[in-house]
Amino acid sequence: MDRLNIGLVGYGVVGQGVVKALKNRRKFLREKYETDFFVKTICDRSISKKPNPSLDQTLLTSDYNVILKDSDIHVVVELIGGLSPAKEIVLGALRAKKHVVTANKALIAECGLELFKEADANGRSILFESSVGAGIPIIRTITEGMAGNKFNGVYGIINGTCNYILTAMSKNKLTFSQALKEAQEKGYAESNPTLDISGMDSAYKLAILVFLTMGKFVNVKDIYVEGINHISHDDIEFAESLNLTIRLLAIGKKIGNQLDVRVHPTMIPKDHGLATVNGVDNAIFLDSDPLGDVFIEGQGAGQMTAAMGVVADLINLGIRVDAPACIWAFNPADEVANISLRKIDEVETRFYIRFMVIDKPGVLAAITTVLGQHNISISSVTQKQEDKGSTVPVVILTHQVNERQVKEALDKITDLAVVRGRPVAIRMEKL
């Protein structure tokens, strides 16, 4: 088409980046794609307090209904985040026969299937490249570039805040608190970083990736999620000595007709590509058939990084907006049948377990006795040598073991008089 009229809802950091990109590249985009990408209306509830976009003929409003009712607008860009009123805006746009572009991970993860059905019913599409990995083209890689492949697993470092903190702890020897403070000072972490460091941000993104690769919408509440705030320098140093690296890993694996879906700190081999992903970068590793292993990495945060993912979606709409919906854009209205979620207690993996114990004879025997009672096979034991009577770390690596067995054993070991605090257990993944 000659012109794509855009209605933007949400003029925050990313929204301003989108406007900046479209404004600065308008001539370039028009010449390259023979389409004029025109921001017709910008809506924000605090629009009077936001920077003036300095766009000729662009309407500014605080009422999103102005965009929904405008028959000249072809696509609504939703960048307000959260579920409400974002869901109402997206549904309203689709019912008004408008395409939708969004970066809203929570909306797609929680309501994606409902929205895709609505898009299908109205002959429109939802594009959401920036919902995972910001501008990294992972959505398009999965749905277009790798169309026809079967996916056995997806593994991702998909939260820049956590990756920055773990990198700073490892490379700069900072404590968790110091690394978090530094991330906040540099703008890589929110003043309230709970969504990031708890692992929930990664869980939303993982739910999207699992649906795209394996065809099952997993309720975010059913994903096992564990954050990084319990990771210490002892754990990082022990990992280094074992030629491993700790990363907050989002994991989705297909095992028969079950999905193993979880987010938690994970020890991975240092020679794997994911172990080399540092700072705020994101990366996704795909295990596919017949293509094999595919690895994609890039900046996963930042105004223009996220904005360019939105712009890419707009370009795809601009050059193909008249194509039948749901043929070229991946908005399926149905799930793959007969796939269930494997509960975390049923998962089997290797564990790194760090115990803080009083350094005296018999301690190791007491711990290994409990592990043996729960059929936990030990691969190796490491203990730092300190003065007797002091509290020292003891690290045990297990062979493959059931999650439930580990949890029950640690509950009993925590109650031992010689153990100080809850043991730290970190899963190990062979990629």
Residue 36's CB is within 10 A of a number of other CB atoms, namely 15
Residue 282 in domain: yes
pLDDT at 273: 94
Note the pLDDT of residue 321. 58
Four-point Cα dihedral 16, 204, 141, 430, nearest 10: 130
CATH number at 170 reads 3.30.360.10
CATH number of the domain residue 412 falls in: 3.30.70.260
pLDDT per residue as tens digits for the range 304-353: 889 999 999 999 888 775 554 444 456 666 778 888 999 999 999 999 99
Q: Is residue 326 part of a domain?
A: no
Q: Are residues 287 and 316 in the same domain?
A: no
Query: Does 95 lie in the same domain as 29?
Result: yes
386-421 residue pLDDT tens? 555 588 899 999 999 999 999 999 999 999 999 999
Mean pLDDT across the stretch 67-95? 97
Same structural domain for residues 47 and 114?
yes
119 and 176 together in one domain: no
pLDDT of residue 387: 55
Q: What is the pLDDT, as a whole number, of residue 325?
A: 44
> Residue 335: what pLDDT?
75
What are the pLDDT digits (tens) for 268-302?
Answer: 999 999 999 999 999 999 999 999 999 999 988 78
Are residues 114 and 202 both part of a single domain? no
**pLDDT score recorded for residue 383:** 80
pLDDT per residue as tens digits for the range 267-277: 999 999 999 99
Is 196's pLDDT higher than 50?
yes
Asked if residue 49 and residue 123 are part of one domain, the reply reads yes
> What pLDDT was estimated at residue 189?
83
Give the CATH number of the domain where residue 26 resides: 3.40.50.720
One domain for residues 43 and 114: yes
The catalytic site residues sit at: 205
Residue 141 lies in a domain: no
Question: Mind listing the pLDDT tens digit for each residue in 38-73?
Answer: 999 999 999 999 999 988 899 999 999 999 999 999
Kindly state whether residues 9 and 74 are assigned to the same domain. yes
Question: Is 334 within the bounds of a domain?
Answer: no
- pLDDT, average across residues 141-157: 93
pLDDT above 80 (res 170): yes
Q: Which structural domain, as residue segments, surrounds residue 80?
A: 3-134+303-320
What pLDDT does residue 303 have? Answer: 87
Q: Is residue 335 part of a domain?
A: no
The residue that leads in pLDDT, 318 or 108, is 108
Q: How far is CA 137 from the centre of its chain?
A: 14
Q: What is the pLDDT of residue 85?
A: 97
> Smallest Cα–Cα separation from 182: which of 169, 170, 194?
169
What's the mean pLDDT in 235-251?
94
Task: Say how many domains are in the chain.
Answer: 3
Residue 336 lies in a domain: no
Q: Are residues 294 and 310 in the same domain?
A: no
Q: Give the per-residue pLDDT at 114.
A: 94
